[in-house]
Amino acid sequence: MIIEESFIRFRSLIRDNRSIRRFDPTVRVTPEMLRALIELTRYCASGRNLQPLRYRMVCTPEECAALFPHLLWAGYYKDWGGPSEEERPTAYLVQCLDTRLASDCLCDDGLHLEAITLGARTLGLGSCIIKAFNVAEAAKALHLPEHMKPRYVLALGAAAEQVNLTATDGTPDTDIRYYRTPDGIHNVPKRPLEELIID
């Protein structure tokens, strides 16, 4: 099989789309960039075509600072409380479900997040999808209307860390926890292709 160049480029983009937890605060993410990323979600498939997801843009230093305390950053790093003040994201997108339209977004949330994070990579940005956060406090900090229920927070900014993919040993009980080496490189174990295919 001959793999087309366009597929190779897409595969490279997918491989490079890693979770970033340390950012360069000197690189600002503009409202225009956030709007461009949100626009990508308009073209995603949507369960029942309801399109019930909405986004709160957070890109001022004041709002970023107000949101940050309500986020949890890396479950496998038990002794790390998240990025230092000099390594925090310069913007966030808070994905919300408009409960006036639906009580469940089916698979839309994941489709949107993949589109946005891939788009961010093409803009030279890194991202981190955050599910572990204080929903009530985040909504309060951002003055969200009651019918907008936060589902995920997406941290955005220029990466200030290196992320490597490593291979697991291919056994079902292999250790898949990400880890940092002493030089600060974030390593993410991935299962081999053959483990993903059912004979």
Domain count, the chain: 2
pLDDT digits (tens, 9 = 90+) for 136-158: 999 999 999 999 999 999 999 99
One DSSP character per residue, 59-70 reads -SHHHHHHHGGG
Report if residue 167 sits inside a domain. yes
Tally DSSP H helices, then E strands, for the chain: 6, 8
Helix runs in 17-107, H state only: 31-40, 61-67
In this structure, the answer to whether residues 122 and 173 fall within a common structural domain is no
Average pLDDT, the chain: 96
pLDDT digits (tens, 9 = 90+) for 92-113: 999 999 999 999 999 999 999 9
Can you tell me the mean pLDDT for 25-37?
Answer: 97
Q: Is the pLDDT of residue 118 over 80?
A: yes
> For residue 172, what pLDDT is reported?
80
Ramachandran angles phi, psi of 13, nearest 5°: -65, -45
Length of the chain: 199
In this structure, the answer to whether residues 174 and 149 fall within a common structural domain is no
> For residue 1, what pLDDT is reported?
73
Query: For residue 182, what are the domain limits?
Result: 162-199
Q: Is the pLDDT of residue 2 over 80?
A: no
Q: Is the pLDDT of residue 55 over 80?
A: yes
In this structure, the answer to whether residues 31 and 99 fall within a common structural domain is yes
d(CA 191, CA 159) in angstroms, rounded, equals: 25
Q: Is 101 exposed, middle or buried (0-12, 13-18, 19+ CB in 10 A)?
A: middle
Ramachandran angles phi, psi of 158, nearest 5°: -75, 135
Query: Which candidate, 93, 45, 86, 40, places its Cα nearest to that of 67?
Result: 93
Q: Are 25 and 87 in contact (CB under 8 A)?
A: yes
In this structure, the answer to whether residues 149 and 170 fall within a common structural domain is no
Residue 58: pLDDT band with limits 50, 70, 90:
very high
Query: In degrees to the nearest 10, what's the CA dihedral of 133, 136, 140, 145?
Result: 110
Can you tell me the mean pLDDT for 25-41?
Answer: 98
Report if residue 7 sits inside a domain. no
Q: Please, which residues bridge with residue 153 across strands?
A: 94, 130
Q: Which two three-digit tokens encode residue 68?
A: 């940050």
In this structure, the answer to whether residues 51 and 146 fall within a common structural domain is yes
pTM exceeding the 0.75 threshold for the entire prediction: yes
Identify residue 34 by its one-letter amino acid code: L
